[in-house]
Structure 1
Amino acid sequence: MMEYMRDAKRRIRIGIVGAGSHSYRNIFPTLTYLPVELVAVADIDLDRASATARQYGATESYASAEEMYAKSDIEAVVLCVSPQMHPALTIAAFKAGLHVFMEKPAAMVADEVAGMIAARGDRVGVVGYKKAFMPAVRKAQEILAMDGVGPLRSVVGTYPMSIPENGRKVLDEREATNWLANGCHPLSVFLEFGGPAAAVTTHRGKNGGGALIIHHANGTIGNFHLAQGAPAFQPFERYVIYADKQSIEIENSRRLSYQRGIEFAYATGTSFAPPGLAGGAIVWEAQDGLNTLENKAVFTQGLYGELAHFCESVLASQPATIGTLEFALDLTRVYEAALLSEGDTVEIRQGA
């Protein structure tokens, strides 16, 4: 159950590193719905950090994360900076005894994520792969866990994306491509449903786009259609999860359809809507008729969910279960393998 900041009986004392456009538009406003007390803001632009701190009631502002770690009495830190900075800032925070939430992507390469895992100790670490936290994805996971549903066979996803050529150069030079910045969104959905990947195969189209085939370790096949060229400011994102004679469809984060099939006789059936309610589709959809929380993008897109899970884990002194560093490691390995595939199947190392 959501708990407003002002009503929370126990608040986590947090600091935020990064007061730029993304955090100001998305992270800071979401604090209203979380059991936190914002104590400090750090940014390389100290004036910006101070102005943001004043706006949100924080009493401290710093020009660096390291200074905040050393001087501020905080329990947890929220990192909203470039992924190049995540490993060093995360490891330093863990060594300072702080819990860490970081925005996606976790790092530039998988070895850096492994280093963060090694430094974590008993602290909570969550990465903001928001798509894994979307209400539509959580509901789909609930359905898949129900008796009589499954086994999961395949997942199909569509997202406007292209995987760069010369992937070895991208990795060696730590290039910040769109595949790094936004490819992690659909990849997080595939891994949330299918689990860790055992291998991937990239097929590039001559004019951009293509397909990424994900061979999940549990036998599920992921088919990621790289829909380069799709208009980004119109509906463009879709996932279909296929189980045993049942399927689940997620459209643009806001609509979830559970197809249960209907009573069917090929030669004699006459109605697509036979009597009873045991079959057919169940549909959940965000509505804009009321200005309620569940219809806002901060909730439908998973921004609230990722931060709420972090807070719940910290307050319960329990490890996170969604968006973990282990999940980030699996995802970053898929990111790397997709760059290196060039049409060949690339196997992925399992475990830490």
Structure 2
Amino acid sequence: MVTRVALAGAGRFGALHLRAFRSLPVEVVAVCDPDPARLAAVRAESGIAAGYPSLGELLAHERVDLVDIATDEASHGDLVLEAVEAGRHVFVEKPLAMDVDQAMSIQARAAGNGVHVVTGQISRFGAAYQHIRDTLDAGELGAPVNLRFRRDFSRSWFPAFGTRVHPVWESGIHDIDLAVWYAGAPCRTVYAVQRGVSGLPNPDTFAAILTFANGVVATVESAWLVPDAAPQTLRGALELDGTIEATVEVLGERGTAAYRLAHDGLAVRTDRMTAHPEHTLWPTVAGRISGALLAELGYAVDVARGARGNDVMPVEEAVEGVRIAAAIQRSAETGTPVTLRAPEERP
């Protein structure tokens, strides 16, 4: 069965999704974007028959099974709700939303309308991250005790994000989600600090300590301060001249596990640059996009066509990630700890 897909957002990541969809049993029947030039370009490049300036107009005219949302972070919540209210399944790039109440409304409305919402927390679909989860589930590490996460990005990339969104929603949300996934319990307290050095509206770096209801403690750190001379790590389908450094450590009662996203196991050196290409996110293999991006989009397609349940990235865990991210931002801005209440405990 071919799943009919609509794409919301014709930017760089939307175009990347379209390339991945070529390897899946889908037909991308329409795309929407408010920028006419960008809309025309992606339609011409990918041969998409229909284009619209808004998702509302698209949904009013097209029969689709799955809406893929690859727009800026602040627009996610509204677009997800629009698609859910129209009775469509949704794949949305992270974060699910940037407002806790809106995220909870998405969860409720999706359940009420009998549709699934899959959030693109890409790390859950990376083989190494999944292996750590499997190792935890098998009991090889014992009960988790401490989780450590660090994710750093090139300083030169920050102007594109520092005026748009707090880094907790761009870089931190990946590791917040992994903490939720590995801890296996709701988060109860958050304390965070931040610092800005670039002069942009949002901080260049933050660090947070999370405590979970089962006693697990997680540290999440992120900085956009990697210098230009660092090795290039993104090559292939989406090539960016810069660096992502990401590490995770899981410390259990009987063992530990660790993973580093990019490392010198693969090295490319020329007179112009040194690269350590990572092969977890969206590597190109035999001319096609593979890796975690293809896996998560394939998963969303399977969920939309009823081939499997939404067990890898359930919407309630995406909502938990939004709750934690919002608490980190609030704690860092106020300098005070934040206590998270369960939804049923909220006034």
**1:85 to 2:75 alignment:** yes
Q: Which residue, 315, 319, 323 being the options, matches 1:325? A: 315
**How many angstroms does 1:305 deviate by?**
2.3
CA 1:54/1:235 → structure 2, altered by over 3 Å: closer, same or farther?
A: closer
Q: Which residue, 179, 182, 189 being the options, matches 2:178? A: 189
**How many angstroms does 1:48 deviate by?**
3.2
Q: Which residue, 5, 8, 11 being the options, matches 1:17? A: 8
Kindly report which structure 2 residues correspond to 1:103-182, keeping only aligned pairs within 5 A, or say none: 103-120=93-110, 121-160=113-152, 176-182=165-171
**How many angstroms does 1:253 deviate by?**
5.8
* Counterpart residue number, 2:254: 245
Which has the larger displacement, 245-254 or 67-76?
Answer: 245-254
Q: Distance in 1 between matches of 2:192 and 2:102?
A: 23
CA contact (8 A) 2:166 2:329 kept: no
Q: Secondary structure at the match of 2:312?
A: coil
Offset from partner CA, 1:94-119 (integer Å, 9 cap, x none) = 22221111111222211111121122
CA contact (8 A) 1:87 1:115 kept: no
CA contact (8 A) 2:146 2:251 kept: yes
Rg larger in 1 or in 2?
1
Q: Which residue, 204, 209, 224 being the options, matches 2:220? A: 224
Offset from partner CA, 1:137-170 (integer Å, 9 cap, x none) = 1111111111443111111111228xxxxxxxxx
Offset from partner CA, 1:76-111 (integer Å, 9 cap, x none) = 111111233223322221222211111112222111
Offset from partner CA, 1:11-63 (integer Å, 9 cap, x none) = 11011011112212x21111122221111111113443244234323221112
* Counterpart residue number, 1:334: 324
**1:199 to 2:189 alignment:** yes
Q: Distance in 1 between matches of 2:338 and 2:65?
A: 41
Which residue identity does 2:218 align to in structure 1?
G
Q: Secondary structure at the match of 2:22?
A: helix
**How many angstroms does 1:318 deviate by?**
4.9
Q: Distance in 1 between matches of 2:117 and 2:99?
A: 17
Work out the number of aligned pairs and report it: 297
* Counterpart residue number, 1:214: 210
CA contact (8 A) 2:123 2:178 kept: yes
Offset from partner CA, 1:285-304 (integer Å, 9 cap, x none) = 969xx9746x98x544x222
Q: Distance in 1 between matches of 2:194 and 2:41?
A: 46
Which residue identity does 1:13 align to in structure 2?
R
Segments of 5+ residues of structure 2 without an aligned counterpart are 154-162, 198-203, 231-241, 266-277
Offset from partner CA, 1:178-220 (integer Å, 9 cap, x none) = 2322221221222221133111111446977453111022221
Q: Give the share of equivalent positions with the same residue, in percent.
A: 23
Q: Distance in 2 between matches of 1:60 and 1:235?
A: 36
CA 1:147/1:240 → structure 2, altered by over 3 Å: closer, same or farther?
A: closer
Which residue identity does 2:87 align to in structure 1?
G
CA contact (8 A) 1:154 1:221 kept: yes
Q: Distance in 2 between matches of 1:103 and 1:324?
A: 14
**How many angstroms does 1:227 deviate by?**
4.5
Task: List structure 1 segments (4+ residues) > 6 angstroms apart after TM superposition.
Answer: 205-208
Q: Secondary structure at the match of 1:182?
A: helix
Q: Distance in 2 between matches of 1:299 and 1:220?
A: 33
Which has the larger displacement, 242-251 or 226-235?
Answer: 226-235
Which residue identity does 2:260 align to in structure 1?
E
* Counterpart residue number, 2:304: 314
CA 1:347/1:78 → structure 2, altered by over 3 Å: closer, same or farther?
A: same
Per the normalisation by structure 2, the TM-score is 0.76
Which residue identity does 1:135 align to in structure 2?
A
Q: Secondary structure at the match of 2:102?
A: helix
Q: Secondary structure at the match of 2:138?
A: coil
**How many angstroms does 1:248 deviate by?**
0.8
How much is the aligned-residue C-alpha RMSD, in angstroms? Answer: 3.0
* Counterpart residue number, 1:169: none
Q: Secondary structure at the match of 1:316?
A: coil
* Counterpart residue number, 2:239: none
* Counterpart residue number, 1:43: 33
CA contact (8 A) 1:200 1:347 kept: yes
